[in-house]
């Protein structure tokens, strides 16, 4: 009995894997000499920058690819042995891939979730039980009959997770599963994963770029350049913040806040803070300790400003309605009596949970669909009249989609960015000028990148190439649809800086669609909160943050600093919560602390 229990684990011994052809030299392996063990029931988070080897490790563990050297065993079964053991291995290891389209094959949501259990040959009653449980976990019961082809990327991701949960594997590998979901859905998923580990002994292997999600995991493995850089508890790993940042990673905001406050003289703060509860306990026990604020305590935090003075809206939507699958039994209204005004040069955020109407609104603003009713004005012209040419609208609006990689299809960077100018039949010298200026604008030197193969780019570089391809069309409007999805902390910071720089371009209008407020609060002038095809809240980012309860009900995640401030109100009732970032939260805390001494 004890010997068989010892073998119930995933074990890698000196594993090396390289995607390059055998004859290629000077190409670093994706994984090099990796050795680790993951026993049943353990929750393991794997972090690393884009290209560090995380996804390759996923493919090796699930026997999709095989190591060039070393060995991998799953419950004593050797992955590289092949044969009938592969079926057993793949039955034990369930994988949720980063891109849901890589694993969705059925026609409808319920058929997709049922596909795995059906192929296991389970009784119909058990299939029904598993499907209902998995769909309830991912809040998909109301979407059971929807076609997968009509779902947003975030909805597809939830379907992919539900499909794997219905298989009830012994080892569950999730490759950045929360990239397209947020708020309560993320918390529900994490709670479910910990429950599965605790109650069923399922090992959870969780690959992520979001450090705040893994504080409760038993173990964190940090990877860099195909090697294991760190392996230990969250507290052990996050204590090495400088080393993590050196390889493009970071620590949770709450951990950094605890460190910064300790440096300011708050003596009751634990050495490594992993949760808001730890800070609350420290503040409640520290009522008399004095601290010398190292930051100026501002009486008023800055507010956002809208830069446009143009009286004529660029986009003017009045009582718009749009119905998917109109005139069918599955008709669903995506936009209802929708009204929106966006002015030239303004930066606006369109924020809402899955199904709120964001994707439909983006298609409408880009001229890809027409409203069923209502009036849509562009630059003061009614787009619904026969004399209006939709090509004029489409030529002015560029879209960076949820998965920017899917809009990169040429072999080299230069060819891909020049695709738009070439379609416009521009002279070669003009096309080259646009390509060069666009690549330089996104921080990719023209001479260094124009001949690079697109498949060899990192995730962050692909985002930049996609944006450059849009800029080469010289649009008046750029719509970003969840552009931060799948990027590591360094990549998010770089893209964040890029979008802020684009805001300085005269006359450029930016629309930023997101399922949370985490990034948009520092990027836009105005936030519009969508729910069930309508705008339910509008205001500056700071004004929106004052509606925390309503945002929670709408399943919209707050910026980490704002969420922390809300948690700390239990210990510090006077603490303001409309903070946009960590610096503002620290300022507010130090001010309150100095006043109460």
- What is residue 530's predicted lDDT score, i.e. its pLDDT? 96
- Residues 53-76 have pLDDT tens digits of 888 898 899 888 899 899 999 998
E runs forming strands in 305-409: 315-324, 332-342, 347-351, 373-378, 381-382, 397-400
Same fold, 2-242 and 315-539: yes
Dihedral of CA 75/76/79/84: which sign?
negative
Q: Does the pLDDT value for residue 597 go beyond 50? A: no
- What is residue 594's predicted lDDT score, i.e. its pLDDT? 60
Task: Tell which wins on pLDDT, 346 or 593.
Answer: 346
Measure the CA–CA gap between 382 and 317, rounded to whole angstroms. Answer: 10
Sheet holding 171-175, edge to edge: 93-96, 171-175, 203-207, 43-48, 219-224, 227-232
**pLDDT band, very low/low/confident/very high, at 299 (cuts 50, 70, 90):** very low
- Torsion angles phi and psi, residue 473, rounded to 5: -90, 0
Which CATH number is 2-242 given?
A: 3.40.50.300
Measure the CA–CA gap between 205 and 59, rounded to whole angstroms. Answer: 12
The most confident of 24-38, 247-261, 581-595, by mean pLDDT: 247-261
Radius of gyration of the chain (CA): 25
Cα distance between the two ends of the chain: 62
Q: Among the residues of 397-535, which ranges form H helices?
A: 413-417, 419-423, 428-441, 446-449, 459-471, 489-502
Whether residue 470 contacts residue 478, with contact meaning beta carbons closer than 8 Å, is answered with yes
Instruction: Tell me the whole-structure pTM to 2 decimals.
Output: 0.80
Q: Which residue has the tokens 């401030």?
A: 565
- What is residue 300's predicted lDDT score, i.e. its pLDDT? 45
Measure the CA–CA gap between 239 and 375, rounded to whole angstroms. Answer: 56
User: What fold does the segment set 315-539 form as a domain?
Assistant: Rossmann fold (3.40.50)
- Residues 396-433 have pLDDT tens digits of 999 988 776 678 889 999 999 999 999 989 999 999 99
- Residues 235-280 have pLDDT tens digits of 999 999 999 999 989 999 999 999 999 888 888 888 999 999 998 8
- Residues 302-333 have pLDDT tens digits of 444 444 445 689 999 999 999 988 888 878 88
**pLDDT band, very low/low/confident/very high, at 139 (cuts 50, 70, 90):** confident
What is the three-class DSSP state of 85?
A: helix
The most confident of 20-24, 110-114, 179-183, 499-503, by mean pLDDT: 110-114
Q: Among the residues of 166-252, which ranges form H helices?
A: 183-200, 234-238, 241-246
- What is residue 409's predicted lDDT score, i.e. its pLDDT? 87
Lowest model confidence (mean pLDDT) among 43-47, 147-151, 159-163, 235-239: 147-151
Q: Does the pLDDT value for residue 442 go beyond 80? A: yes
Q: Select from 541, 532, 539 the least CA-distant residue to 559.
A: 541
- What is residue 298's predicted lDDT score, i.e. its pLDDT? 36
Residues 452-477, mean pLDDT to the nearest whole number: 86
Q: Select from 93, 92, 134, 129 the least CA-distant residue to 113.
A: 134
Q: What is the mean pLDDT of the chain?
A: 86
Q: Does the pLDDT value for residue 36 go beyond 70? A: yes
**Domain chopping of the chain, boundaries:** 2-242, 253-302+561-596, 315-539
Q: Does the pLDDT value for residue 293 go beyond 70? A: no
The set of residues, in sequence order, having a beta carbon less than 8 Å from that of 554 and lying 6+ positions away, is 183, 352, 353, 356, 529, 531, 536
Residues forming beta bridges with residue 528, ordered by sequence position:
350, 538
- What is residue 286's predicted lDDT score, i.e. its pLDDT? 61
Lowest model confidence (mean pLDDT) among 58-67, 285-294, 489-498: 285-294
**pLDDT band, very low/low/confident/very high, at 26 (cuts 50, 70, 90):** low
């Amino acid at each position: 009995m004890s010997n068989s229990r010892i073998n119930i684990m995933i074990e890698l011994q000196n594993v090396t894997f390289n995607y390059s052809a055998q004859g290629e030299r000077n190409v670093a392996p994706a994984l090099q000499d990796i050795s680790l063990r993951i026993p049943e029931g353990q929750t393991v988070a794997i972090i690393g920058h884009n290209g560090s080897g995380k996804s390759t490790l996923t493919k090796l563990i699930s026997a999709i690819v095989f190591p060039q050297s070393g060995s991998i065993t799953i419950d004593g079964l050797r992955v590289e042995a092949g044969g009938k053991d592969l079926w057993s291995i793949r039955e034990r290891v369930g994988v949720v891939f980063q891109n849901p389209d890589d694993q969705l094959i059925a026609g409808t949501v319920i058929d997709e979730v049922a596909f795995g259990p059906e192929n296991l040959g389970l009784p119909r009653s058990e299939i029904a039980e598993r499907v209902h449980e998995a769909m309830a976990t991912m809040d998909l019961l109301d979407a059971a009959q929807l076609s997968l082809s009509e779902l947003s990327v975030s909805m597809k991701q939830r379907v992919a997770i539900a499909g794997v949960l219905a298989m009830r594997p012994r080892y569950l590998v999730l490759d950045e599963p929360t990239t397209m979901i947020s708020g309560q859905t993320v918390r529900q998923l994490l709670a479910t994963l910990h429950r599965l580990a605790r109650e069923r002994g399922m090992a959870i292997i969780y690959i992520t770029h979001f450090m705040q999600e893994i504080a409760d995991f038993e173990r964190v493995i940090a990877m860099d350049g195909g090697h294991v850089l760190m392996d230990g508890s969250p507290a052990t790993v996050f204590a090495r913040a400088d080393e993590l940042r050196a390889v493009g990673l970071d620590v949770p905001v709450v951990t950094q806040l605890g460190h910064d406050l300790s440096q300011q003289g708050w003596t009751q703060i634990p050495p490594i803070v992993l949760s808001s509860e730890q800070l609350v306990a420290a503040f409640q026990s520290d009522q008399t300790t004095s601290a010398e604020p190292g930051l100026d305590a501002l009486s008023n935090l800055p507010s956002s400003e809208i830069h446009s003075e143009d009286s004529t809206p660029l986009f003017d939507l009045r009582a718009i309605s749009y119905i998917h699958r109109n005139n069918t039994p599955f008709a669903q209204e995506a936009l209802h009596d929708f009204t929106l005004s966006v002015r030239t040069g303004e930066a606006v955020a369109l924020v809402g949970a899955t199904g709120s109407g964001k994707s439909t609104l983006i298609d409408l603003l880009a001229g890809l669909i027409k409203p069923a009713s209502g009036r849509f004005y562009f630059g003061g012209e009614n787009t619904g009249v026969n004399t209006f040419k939709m090509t004029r609208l489409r030529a002015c609006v560029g879209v960076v989609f949820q998965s920017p990689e899917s809009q990169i299809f040429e072999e080299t960077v230069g060819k891909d960015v020049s695709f738009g100018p070439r379609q416009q039949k521009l002279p070669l010298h003009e096309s080259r000028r646009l390509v060069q200026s666009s690549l330089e604008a996104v921080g990719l030197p023209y001479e260094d990148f124009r001949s690079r193969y697109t498949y060899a780019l990192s995730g962050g570089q692909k985002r930049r190439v996609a944006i450059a391809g849009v800029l080469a069309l010289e649009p008046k409007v750029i719509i970003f649809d969840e552009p931060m999805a799948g990027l590591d902390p360094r990549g998010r910071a770089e893209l964040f800086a890029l979008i802020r720089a684009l805001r300085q371009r005269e006359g450029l209008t930016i629309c930023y669609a997101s399922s949370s407020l985490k990034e948009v609060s520092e990027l836009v002038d105005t936030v519009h909160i969508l729910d069930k095809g309508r705008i339910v809240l509008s205001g500056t980012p700071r004004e929106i943050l004052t509606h925390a309860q309503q945002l929670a009900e709408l399943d919209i995640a707050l910026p980490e600093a704002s969420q922390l401030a809300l948690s700390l109100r239990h210990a510090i009732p006077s603490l303001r919560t409309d903070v946009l970032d960590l610096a503002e939260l620290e300022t507010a805390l130090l001010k309150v602390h100095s006043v109460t001494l």
